Structure formats: structure tokens, C-alpha cells
Structure 1
């Protein structure tokens, strides 16, 4: 396995490339690895220009020193240690404090920032340093007392061993604990080996079953880090899918967003979710029909709709990175890509020897709304995603008409931009491009046995060029005139009728521009000719011009 240079800097110090001594995964004596000590970790933030994080981590160092001086121990745990082993620097720290009761921890921590006790009942004290929030957790035992996520009992034990505290972590790669000051990493369950070998392994099967959300976390870890689930762990996750229905959708949201936004290839996590049984348990009507739905081989040699959907979602994630889309744009594009063919199962028919899915674009709206709602996506984000699903064929259809020498007025693009709002033409073009590229391989003409996959999307370039010429790539079309233009011409407005009539005039002016291709200057000249007449006469004049 290729290792990042940062990974080498950790492993090489202990000659890990030599065959290590074989030890049990459950051993009170951990493997000790040398990670980055406090100073080296701090320097990493400076090297990446994470200055705010560097200041916060200085406070963490001082906090750890004060805890140690008082007879306690502060260990970095969970994802931050995992990320360090993987060659990344984390900005999200979980600090586990041993040896003290909560009041003593709060007393020490208060010297370095603001204390928030919102998670105190779960054994978590939040320390805010500047804009950074740091979790200070107490070693604890958790036990499930019922079906819902609130049915837990937590027992705090400041004298708990690091091994026992690490055992409650979901996967071995997250069960690592690191001394913040010295950089020594304690590995009781073979987590570093599993990271090296890209294996997802449950730390402790009984404790793992305390929270069903962990199986969705497992799927997103597979997607984010390119892991393969160990067989026994996979069986454990499969056995828990029936518990997902007891969790609130708000808890799902974060895990799904991490899968879609942080995975180089979301398809890996999505395929894992299918294998584990997450879709069968939670999205049976929306997702499960996709693998059983065929597609026309001429256009989709890759096979069924599920295979196509995975390919398209990977392309969308790639496009989001290449275009440097922000988080909202990325979600609209990637989730739009994932949902774009949810209408095919209900519309696909075999007619005249070919597979047809006529109307699948509009038919995809309802299953998309249901899926997005069930994973906790808010309505303000759901709306533009659904709009891209409904319109995902439009860029290609318009381009195909253009190739047939069909002329498109600017109104076609303005009206489309209005229709898909609050989605943008850029987001729509990205979804359409993902759909186009996420196909194949196609047989290469005149070259038997050779194949190709689409590498470009000229329809998208043409589509965005037309949109750019109209300044509607990232925003809704603006009206050709405004209320201020009418006031400058001498027309008056009032609260009871004026605003309504102004709005009617602006709409008529937009129709003249879009349907009759009359310029702004010509429209203002027409208005000027009527400025001495009542406003109703102007409205009549504009209607006559439109009807002419």
C-alpha cells in the first residue's frame, strides 16, 4: 500500500516495515507507536496555515500540561489520532481526561477558554478557544437500556484504564489513544495494522451493538477511506439494521453528508450500505428497485440503474472537487446525481425490443423528496436537489436540438433558470455532466474488443456558455426593467394598487424581451411614449405590442 510521507514519518521511527511481533488484539499491553509530539503537531498547523487551530492547540498543550502536573492524564482519542496515522492533520479533537472528577476538569479547563456543559450528562465538557470547540470527555462505560438513542446509561470512571476506555470505540482505527505531550500512541486492538491494510473492523462486538448509527458510520468510513469490512464485523453490522428505525433522522444526516462530501468515491460507501442492508431497512421503496431496473444497452452498457447511479455519483464528487464547489453546491450536485434516476423503476418498460424510461425525470421527484427527508436533509436544500432531478436531461436535450440546427431563443434558457430556481444552471450542468460521464464502457467503433468511456461533455460547455451570456449561470434571471425605471419615467406607485401594476408592467416587459426579443432600450422608449397617459394605458400598449 502506498503511504503518505506523513505516514512514513510515524512508521519509520519504529521500524514498522520489519515484521512486528504477533500479539493478541485483546492484550493489556498495547503496542506503543511514536506519533507527533505536541510541538511537532503544532508545527503541522502552521505549515498548513491553520493559524486559528494552532492557537487553539497551544491551549490544548497547556491544558494537558496542567492536567499532568495535577496528577491526571490527557489523551487525544478517536478520529484525530486515526487521521494522523493516515497522514492528515485533524481540526476536530476529542480529549479524554483521566484521574479527575468533572468539577476538577472544568476548574482546570476554565483557565484556557469558555466552558459549555451542554453535553455534561454524556460525560462531555466543551471548551471553546476562540472559534474552536474542543471536546473534553470523561472515561465512561455505556450500556443500552432501550430501543431509542436516548435509552443509554453512562457510568463515569476517572480511574478507568485506557484500554477499557478505548474498547467502547466503534472501530479499531478509532480506538487509538495518544499522549498529547509525548506523541506516544497506544494501540490495544490492532487499529494501526487495520489502517495500514485498509480494513474496517469492529473493536468490541457487544459494545458496538449499543448504537445502530455505527453501521452507517461504517459505510461512510468505507467510502471516505477506501476500506473493506472484515467479515465478522460485516455480519455484526447486518444484524443491527432493524434498529435503525428507532433513530431520529437528524442523526443520519451527518453520516450521510460525510459519505457524500468527504469520499473520493462515494460509490464504495453506497455499495457497503447496500451490502450491509441499510437501504433494505430504511429506503426500500426508493433505492432497492434500482439494481433490478434494466437500461437500454445502447446508451447504458454498464447495466442496471444502480450500477449507473454509483458511477454517476462518483463523477459528481469528482466534478465538485474539480470545480471547487462550496458545501451547499456540492450537496446539490452530488445528491442530485445520486437521486437523478429514482424515477426509472416506475417508468421503465420494454417496448419494440428496447428499454424505455419515458418520463423518469419528473417521476423521480417524489422518491427523491422521500429519500432526502428520511436522511434528514432540510427542505431548503431538498428543493434545489429535486429541481435538478426533474431537469437533469434538459442540457443534453437542448444540445442535441442545437446539433440538428434548431435555434433556441434566450427565453428558453431564462425560463429554465427560473424553473429550476433555487438550483442554478451551473449545478444543473454539473448533474447532467455526471449523468453523461457515469456510463460505459462503450464498444469502440471499428475496433473489435476495444472500449471507451466518455471523457468530456460538450453539451455542458455549450449550455453554460449560453447561460453565461445571459448572466444566469449562478443566479435567477433579472427583469429587463425595474420599478425605479418606471418612477424615473414619471409613473407613481402607491401601496394599494401601484405595486401590483408595476409588477404587471415588469412581467410584460420580460415577455417582450424573451418572446419578441425586444431590447431594454426599445422597451424603455415604448414606456416613455406613454408616460403622459394613465398607467393602465401603458399596460394596454405593452399587451398590444406583445400580441402584434
Structure 2
């Protein structure tokens, strides 16, 4: 599988699209009619702004509505109904609707152009009056849409809210846009300010970023602030690249594997894998990016060879603390920790002279459905290391075994059931009875555990075994 770029086309002819989509797409946005009526009742200008306008210009469907209103944002939100406060000092509110929301910001006496210039990026700094049809673009955001470019409105805008650094990286990932060089320099220059941002907001942006089909820009200097020690992986050598480059490449390969599953060696399981792993994919991406985070701390040299004994466990402990600080949930923390701590298991299994069914069964029994997640991480790791050929056959065997076992009828009785119920001692007879009872269950002759125990009792009596019925 060759390394590729993940780029989404934004389409051409933005100005033509503006006229084509405004009257059709804008008025298909949920809530636009009631916003227009509220504006008429209050006698104020209403402007569609931000991500709503950007997505319409890109020809994308948008569910939520961003508006700026003349005068008081609170008064307008009250006119629409139930709302919550986003930033009271900014006169910023969110009106809740079933399946969507309307974000309302009040302009007071400010002109719309002033509000637009205070925003984060030029492509989010355009406005459209729903009453006059006038289009406002003080920072030439249309040109940047055409160029597929993320450009900050200014340095002060980044300093004012450093979380815009992560939002810019996320937008680049979600839209497949390039981040302007000067904007990227601002991100790196002011990355330290992210420490002052609420961890809940950082968590939110990270989740959105890794939920994107392509995670886009992984800027090591920025991620080192969020994931302390991230940059240290540069000091760990690998054959053709350092450990940091390897980790980022592993993430890119994971995204490629996911996209290409229907045409991969796992094609027969692709739908099942996507259905099972899909909800955890964003967390698996984080685990893949951080799977070798423990190597700098555990690097040692013996007889001219470099070793990383225990780097998986070190990485798991590190993530436990970092994940908690970033307000990841307990389930999220435990999942990523499991992936980091066990990312070498399939590699080690594949390195054995013979991969036995027993070894695969133990792996599947230990991880359950998450054995698929671990397999994908291992595959991406192997691709980034150049040894895909060694692990893919084993991964295929693991996934095949998992689904074969899952499709197999459950074991109606266990050995301990017979020992406890009939006061028997362990021996070959137990296995014989279990096989006979299970065969009857799979053929439909018996359906319940009670019926299974009755059949077991009958078989024992036919064999002349004196049993004590409860």
C-alpha cells in the first residue's frame, strides 16, 4: 500500500457557486425561516456568518446555523426560544432545536465588517445579509476558499484565543486545505498559550480533529504542548527515519488502511470491521500516533544494540496521566491505554516460527472485538516500519478466527457445570458428555441449560454412572 495524500476537493468557481447556492442552499438550512421572521419582528439586520456560510460556498450541506444580528444577541435568542449562554461578554448564545442549533451573536452598534475581522480565519470571516442579499468579505476569504487555504485573520486573533491553533489544524484536516506558511508560523510561535486553554476545549478539538477522515496537520511543536514528550521521539533513531516521523506515518497509514479496507487482504471482513471499530476509530488514531511515546524514556544500549524494554507499559502509564489531564473519559483513557500497552503483541506473535491456533485463540479471548483495533494498529505500524509482509497473514488469521468463533453457537454447558451439578470429578468423561450435549444443542434437540443438564444426566445414567441429582 503506497503512501498517499488525503485531500478533498472544494470545487472551483466559488463566485458562481455563491450565486448558485445562496438562494437554494441557504434557505434549506434548518431554522433560516424562523430567523428571518424573528428579524422582521424585531426590525434588525440578520447576517449568516462563519462555518454555515463557508460550507454553503463549498457546496456542502450544513445542519447548524451561525448568525450575527444587529443590536442585542440575547434579545434575538429570547425571541427564538430556549437558549444557553456561550460567551455572555461577547453577547453570544445558542438556541437549541431538535437535531440542530442556531448560534446567535449580537453586534451591538458595531458594523458587521468589524465582527468578521475579529474571527479566527478568513474563510470563516464572511457574511451575508438575509434581507438585502449583500455579501461581506473584508479579508478576502473567498479567494482563500478558491485557493483551499487556511489563513489566520491576524496574530492578535490567535493570541486572543490560542485554541484557534487546534481549530485551524482541524479545519485543514476536515476540508483538505493547506495552512498558509505565515499562519503555521503563528501556530508554532504561540503554541505555549494552549496551556492556558481549558482542557475540556482542547479535548473537544482533538476529538473533532481525529474524527475527520484525514487527520491532516500533525505539527510536532504544537502537539508537544498537548502531549508532553511528543517531540522527544525525534531523538529515537529508526532505520530510515526517527521515531516521531514513524509515529506520524503510522497514523497516515492507518487512515489509508481504513479507506482501502474493501480492497485489502481483509476485504471479506471490511463491512464488519467498519461497523465494529468505526465508533472507536478516532481513539484508535490517537493510540496509533502515541504508540511509541514510551521509547525515549526506555531507550538503552547493550552490545551495540538499542533496546526499548517496557516502552509499552511506560507509554500506558504516561497516557493515563495525560488523558486524565485532558479530560478524556475513563473509557477513552482505558481504551487508548490498552492499545498502547499491547501494540507489540501481534508483532511478537508474527515473529514466532509457528503461529498456533491456541495462541490466536488466547489473543481473541483476551481482547474480544478490540482484537480488530489492535490488528489495524499493528498493520499501520508495520507499514511505517516496512515489514507489512510479516504481519498481514497473521492479522488475517486473527480476524478470521474472531468471526468464526463469534458465529459459532455458544457453549450451552461448561465443565464446571457438570462438576458442580452432579458432584463429579474431572476426567475424560466430562469432555465426552460436553461434546454430546453441545451437538444436541446445535442440532436444535435442546434449547435451554435446564434441558442440557437433563440430557447430561441421562447420558451419565446410560453409562452406569451413579449421580446425585440436586
Mark yes or no: TM-score above 0.5: yes
The residue number in structure 2 matching 1:521 is: 437
Q: Which has the higher helix share?
A: 2
The residue number in structure 2 matching 1:306 is: 244
Counterparts in 2 of 1:481 and 1:377: CA distance versus 1, 3 Å: farther
The residue number in structure 1 matching 2:35 is: 63
Q: TM-score, normalised by structure 1?
A: 0.67
Alpha-carbon deviations, 1:451-510, whole Å to 9, x = none?
Answer: xx879933221110111121199xxx9776379x959x9959xxxxxxxx9xxx9xx99x
Alpha-carbon deviations, 1:383-406, whole Å to 9, x = none?
Answer: 1221122222323433443xx345
The residue number in structure 1 matching 2:84 is: 117
Cα offset for 1:183? 6.2
2-side partners of 1:459 and 1:350: how far apart? 30
1:481 maps to 2:413: yes
The residue number in structure 2 matching 1:438 is: 384
Alpha-carbon deviations, 1:250-300, whole Å to 9, x = none?
Answer: 111111112212152x2x421x2x2xx323434333x121111112x2xxx
Contact 1:242 1:281 in 2 (8 A): yes
Cα offset for 1:172? 1.1
Counterparts in 2 of 1:457 and 1:136: CA distance versus 1, 3 Å: same
The residue number in structure 1 matching 2:158 is: 208
Task: Give the length in aligned residue pairs.
Answer: 428
Counterparts in 2 of 1:261 and 1:329: CA distance versus 1, 3 Å: same
1-side partners of 2:133 and 2:16: how far apart? 15
- Higher mean alpha-carbon deviation, 325-334 vs 250-259, is at 325-334
Residue in structure 2 matching 1:464, options 389, 394, 399: 399
Residue in structure 2 matching 1:279, options 213, 218, 223: 223
Contact 2:77 2:83 in 1 (8 A): no
The residue number in structure 2 matching 1:427 is: 373
Cα offset for 1:346? 2.7
Contact 1:201 1:229 in 2 (8 A): yes
1-side partners of 2:53 and 2:235: how far apart? 41
Alpha-carbon deviations, 1:102-151, whole Å to 9, x = none?
Answer: 33x145423xxxx1234372523332333322222222xxxxxxxxxxxx
Cα offset for 1:378? 1.1
1:217 maps to 2:188: no
Counterparts in 2 of 1:336 and 1:282: CA distance versus 1, 3 Å: closer
1:269 maps to 2:217: yes
1-side partners of 2:160 and 2:69: how far apart? 23
The residue number in structure 2 matching 1:39 is: 24
Give the aligned CA root-mean-square deviation in angstroms.
4.0
1:136 maps to 2:104: yes
The residue number in structure 2 matching 1:342 is: 293
Q: Which runs of 5+ in 2 are unaligned?
A: 1-6, 262-269, 440-451
Contact 1:65 1:181 in 2 (8 A): no
Contact 2:234 2:243 in 1 (8 A): yes
The residue number in structure 1 matching 2:328 is: 377
Residue in structure 2 matching 1:171, options 118, 121, 124: 121
Cα offset for 1:357? 3.1
Residue in structure 2 matching 1:407, options 343, 356, 368: 356
The residue number in structure 1 matching 2:180 is: 230
1:11 maps to 2:15: yes
Secondary structure of residue in 1 paired with 2:48: strand
Alpha-carbon deviations, 1:340-393, whole Å to 9, x = none?
Answer: 212222333444554443443333211232333343321111212211222223
1-side partners of 2:10 and 2:181: how far apart? 30
Secondary structure of residue in 2 paired with 1:260: helix
1-side partners of 2:414 and 2:130: how far apart? 61
Secondary structure of residue in 2 paired with 1:438: helix
- Higher mean alpha-carbon deviation, 179-188 vs 337-346, is at 179-188
Residue in structure 1 matching 2:50, options 78, 89, 92: 78
Secondary structure of residue in 2 paired with 1:160: coil
Contact 2:294 2:315 in 1 (8 A): yes
Contact 1:61 1:180 in 2 (8 A): no
- Higher mean alpha-carbon deviation, 188-197 vs 456-465, is at 456-465
Contact 1:433 1:457 in 2 (8 A): yes
Secondary structure of residue in 1 paired with 2:67: strand
Cα offset for 1:408? 2.8
The residue number in structure 1 matching 2:233 is: 290
Residue in structure 2 matching 1:394, options 342, 345, 351: 345
1-side partners of 2:390 and 2:135: how far apart? 44
1-side partners of 2:132 and 2:399: how far apart? 54
2-side partners of 1:385 and 1:101: how far apart? 41
Contact 1:201 1:230 in 2 (8 A): yes
Contact 1:7 1:84 in 2 (8 A): no
Secondary structure of residue in 2 paired with 1:395: helix
Q: Which runs of 5+ in 1 are unaligned?
A: 14-32, 43-53, 140-156, 443-452, 493-500, 536-548
2-side partners of 1:181 and 1:36: how far apart? 16
2-side partners of 1:319 and 1:85: how far apart? 31
1-side partners of 2:390 and 2:80: how far apart? 54
